[in-house]
Structure 1
């Protein structure tokens, strides 16, 4: 299994075991050690993963950090664990801070088994940052998170590669958090800035109070319309011969697709919906009419230019209990389990990458 599959399996197991993980030791054994293993490190090899790593720090003697990871004999990552129920936003990690300052490790992780906060010294050399540059949540992650996590895997681990994008990643995540907060609670100055573009009256507190819910709703509606527009592009009419893929027409909610008795292939509404979601996602890179659907017995293929040599993905929707999305990644076909059909959108980056590889 690759990292994507290992993390998915660990996330699934976490959901089943979470109520039984009640202290720090259980967190380490059930969550943290498997997480380290998923990155390709041997947790039973003390030359690679050192539990209870000890170092004398100034006047502090015999302090320990939960795990230290070595890459090619070089101390690279320090990990401090907290019980699963710990809110990491309010957690103290003084030991991690002191250890980072006096060792050659360039990365530190603070975790409660579910959430993993990655730190470095981006703000001040040899001094651990107070804010993480990357946060991975086992119960809530997307394709972009997996791609960032892969950089820490043993086979590809490279300090310079990670640091080259860490600063941008840090501020991108902070900007996303700020934008989310702005959407929920837009500040007075922001409301005033927007409102003065269309309101000529005096900006009293009463006026600002009246415009606050209006502008908040307008922002939410704008985002919804942008998503809707991409879906409409994907649903655009495409002409073709009888052998062309089945495509939903604008305004149609369902399509009657007859069973082909000669080969027992039936195209379901879920496959059509999945196809249209993929078209919507890749519409920013290629014209929707270049994306084709070709159904088969065991899967439904989505191709660029109706070319078998340009597969974008495959929909494995024939099972009643499990749906999977198979995407071409690094010249391999990687399968992703889908809890719901809309989970396809969480793999947008991989789908776009597949399309870009042909352009």
Structure 2
């Protein structure tokens, strides 16, 4: 199974079995150890996963963290576990103490359902009070699975994770602030809008009048944005349906095999790489993929007449294929999907051929 399927299967298992799990030890065995194993670490190899890892605190000896994950003989993640019914907030300080005496940059506090990730962004070698990221494994999103892949044994990179952690931490905090203002606008927030549209003195009575109006306006704005996106999605769907009725000629074997294809983990990663390159020029929501038996199509506006590139990833040799104005393929062999970044200019040029022909000629 692909990584995303393994994680979702574990989430379903947790939902199904949690009511039968009566102890913290059972939580570790049934939920947490399979999670660590899903990341690619051998939970039965003491050189990779050390249970009851000793983390002595000064004169206080015998303190132990539930698991220490190692790579190349060095601790990389410590994991503190609690029973699935326990609230994690009250155990934050315990992980904080362990983190201080371990040489790792990352700590996980979990009850087998909620996973909270910590590091030392604010002060070196001192765990931040707040997690930079958390997720519920029974409700995990595709985006969270994509983020979680950074912690797999075969892709673990401290610098890459710390960089991502910084963005996750502050994005998370900003979203909380925005959510709070939407549900209950602060006086400062209301004043910011009121002073731009009200000519008089902002008395307490005026502010009281503006507060519900600001809240209503914010929520109405969000509703309008959702409505616009739904209209856009329906429009794209209608366009795609129209194209499907009059598709480009396609080899019979590919047309037949399209329904049997699987959007593999490797193809997903490659698609996100191409999307991240192209979103510097257009809205990422306009980038689509269609899988065939032989290759992955990357399309603009879900229109197969606007093929940006094709990715051949299912054989021993991998190729990035770009199409010229006549639809002829120009294949470029790549050693790994990361090599796609090396051809960012060509991908952008292919995009602009559909989006801004004049600009493409100058590129």
Distance in 2, matches of 1:242 and 1:130, equals: 51
Task: Please say if 1:306 is aligned against 2:322.
Answer: no
Aligned-pair distance for 1:240? 8.5
Distance in 1, matches of 2:237 and 2:225, equals: 22
Instruction: Check whether the contact 1:63–1:95 (CA below 8 A) recurs between aligned residues.
Output: no
Q: Match of 2:268?
A: none
Aligned length: 285
In structure 2, relative to structure 1, the CA distance for the partners of 1:241 and 1:45 (3 Å cut) is closer
Q: Match of 1:122?
A: 121
Higher mean C-alpha deviation, range 202-211 or range 16-25: 202-211
Distance in 1, matches of 2:221 and 2:57, equals: 54
TM-score (normalizing by structure 1): 0.68
SS of 2:128's equivalent?
Answer: coil
Instruction: Check whether the contact 1:64–1:95 (CA below 8 A) recurs between aligned residues.
Output: no
TM-score (normalizing by structure 2): 0.67
Q: Match of 1:162?
A: 161
Task: Please say if 1:225 is aligned against 2:188.
Answer: no
Distance in 2, matches of 1:204 and 1:148, equals: 47
Q: Describe the superposition over 1:107-132 as per-residue Cα deviations: whole angstroms up to 9, x where unpaired.
A: 11111111111111111111111111
For structure 2, the 5+ residue unaligned runs are 247-255, 257-278, 315-340, 342-346, 352-363
SS of 1:53's equivalent?
Answer: strand
Aligned-pair distance for 1:203? 2.7
Please list, as runs of the form range in 1=range in 2, the aligned pairs for 1:323-334 lying within 5 A after superposition. Answer: 331=313
Instruction: Check whether the contact 2:56–2:101 (CA below 8 A) recurs between aligned residues.
Output: no
Distance in 1, matches of 2:245 and 2:52, equals: 59
Task: Please say if 1:60 is aligned against 2:53.
Answer: no
In structure 2, relative to structure 1, the CA distance for the partners of 1:238 and 1:187 (3 Å cut) is closer
Distance in 2, matches of 1:69 and 1:241, equals: 47
Please list, as runs of the form range in 1=range in 2, the aligned pairs for 1:127-138 lying within 5 A after superposition. Answer: 127-138=126-137
- Over the residues paired in the alignment, what is the CA RMSD in angstroms? 3.9
Instruction: Check whether the contact 1:53–1:64 (CA below 8 A) recurs between aligned residues.
Output: yes
Instruction: Check whether the contact 1:245–1:292 (CA below 8 A) recurs between aligned residues.
Output: no
For structure 1, the 5+ residue unaligned runs are 248-262, 264-281, 296-300, 313-327, 333-352
SS of 1:61's equivalent?
Answer: coil
Instruction: Check whether the contact 1:246–1:293 (CA below 8 A) recurs between aligned residues.
Output: no
